[in-house]
Amino acid sequence: MKSLDIADVARHAGVKPSALRYYESLGLIAADSRKGLRRQYDASVLDRLALIALGQRAGFSLQEIAETLGPATQAQVEFELDRNRITERADEVDRHIRALTLLARALRHVATCQAPSHAECPSFRKMMAEALKWSGKDRQKI
């Protein structure tokens, strides 16, 4: 059970120590112990940080991630999570994926379309309409 110090964790997780301290202040992670003043982390914090990074990529705020993952304990291996909430998150991510798929199609179209003006290209118009519809539907949600 070797413990990592903040610089090790930072290096492995690819975030700055200041970010780790910030995460701690939000209750997202916790140090196992201190050696003097220095935080000592269990390697399991890296899993938690991976989940945090993943959640951020999915467009969730740190606040939301904290709520989803549950409180950081000293023994972080066993984090308690709300399974329903997580499933909801997964659904949300799926919706996000559908929107992004549309975006990628629209971008590729724009990049290759030979029409003189996109505004006159019917398939561009159609995609824009779809996109607007989507963003109208849950513009507040992500």
- What's the closest the beta carbon of residue 119 comes to its own copies, in angstroms? 5
**For residues 5 and 130, which CB has a smaller minimum distance to DNA in the complex?**
5
17 binds, among its own copies, DNA, none (CB under 5 to 8 A by kind): DNA
What are the CA-CA distances from residue 62 to residues 25, 49, 133 (Å)? 11, 11, 28
Backbone angles phi, psi at 71, to 5 degrees: -60, 145
Q: If residue 81 lies in a helix (H) or strand (E), which one and from where to where?
A: none
Distance CA 36, CA 39 (A): 8
Interface residues with its own copies (CB under 8 A)? 14, 44, 46-47, 50-51, 53-55, 57-59, 77-79, 81, 83-84, 86-87, 89-90, 93-94, 96-97, 99-104, 106-108, 110-112, 116-119, 128, 131-132, 135-136, 139, 142
